[in-house]
Amino acid sequence: MRRKISEKLKKWSTLKDRKCLVVQGARQVGKTYSIERFAEENYDEVIEINFKELPSAADIFAGDLSVDAMIMAMRFRFPEKKILPGKCLIFLDEIQECQEAITSLKFWATDNRYDVIASGSLLGIDYKRASSYPVGYVDYIKMNGMDFEEFLWGLGVTDDMIDTLRSYLHKKEVVPEAINNQMMIYYRHYIATGGMPEAVKKYLETKDFREVDRVQRSLLQGYQYDIAHYANAEEKVKAEKCYLSLAKQLLEKENHKFQYKEVEHGGRAQKYYSSIEWLLRADIISLCKVVTDVRYDLDDYARDDFFRAYTTDLSLLVAMKDFTLKQHIAENTLSGSTKGGIFECAIADALYKNGYSLYFYKNETTKRELDFIIQKEGKVIPIEVKSGNTRATSLKSFVKNKDDIEFGYKFIDGNIGVNDEGIITAPLYMATFV
- Can you list the alpha helix ranges (DSSP code H) found in 61-196? 67-77, 99-111, 148-155, 159-171, 177-193
Cβ contact 428:434 at 8 Å = no
Which of these ranges, 133-137, 228-232, 257-261, 350-354, has the smallest mean pLDDT?
133-137
List, in order, residues 6 or more apart from 293 with CB less than 8 Å away.
301
Which of these ranges, 106-110, 121-125, 406-410, 422-426, has the smallest mean pLDDT?
121-125
121 plus 221 within the same structural domain: no
Domain that holds residue 16: 5-142
238 plus 260 within the same structural domain: yes
Neighbour order of strands in the sheet with 417-418: 302-311, 285-291, 358-363, 368-376, 379-385, 408-412, 423-427, 417-418
CA distance 357 to 377: 13
C-beta neighbour count of 264 within 10 angstroms: 14
- Indicate the residue among 107, 142, 177 that finishes a domain: 142
Q: What CATH number is associated with residue 19?
A: 3.40.50.300
pLDDT in tens, 272-295: 999 999 999 999 999 999 999 999
129 plus 152 within the same structural domain: no
pLDDT in tens, 180-216: 999 999 999 999 999 999 999 999 999 999 999 999 9
160 plus 232 within the same structural domain: yes
172 plus 129 within the same structural domain: no
392 plus 293 within the same structural domain: yes
Residue 302: pLDDT over 90: yes
197 plus 132 within the same structural domain: no
153 plus 67 within the same structural domain: no
213 plus 116 within the same structural domain: no
pLDDT in tens, 368-415: 999 999 999 999 999 999 987 778 889 999 998 888 899 999 999 999
173 plus 26 within the same structural domain: no
pLDDT in tens, 29-84: 999 999 999 999 999 999 999 999 999 999 999 989 999 999 999 999 999 999 99
Per-residue buried b or exposed e for 365-398, using 16+ beta carbons within 10 Å of the residue's own CB: eeeeebbbbbbeeeebbbbbbbbeeeebebbbeb
**Total number of domains constituting the chain:** 2
pTM attached to this predicted model: 0.94
- Indicate the residue among 142, 175, 203 that finishes a domain: 142
CA distance 400 to 297: 20
Give the pLDDT band (50/70/90) at residue 127: very low
CA distance 144 to 133: 21
Q: In terms of C-beta density within 10 A (0-12 exposed, 13-18 middle, 19 or more buried), how is residue 167 classed? A: exposed
Neighbour order of strands in the sheet with 45-50: 45-50, 88-93, 115-120, 20-24, 138-142
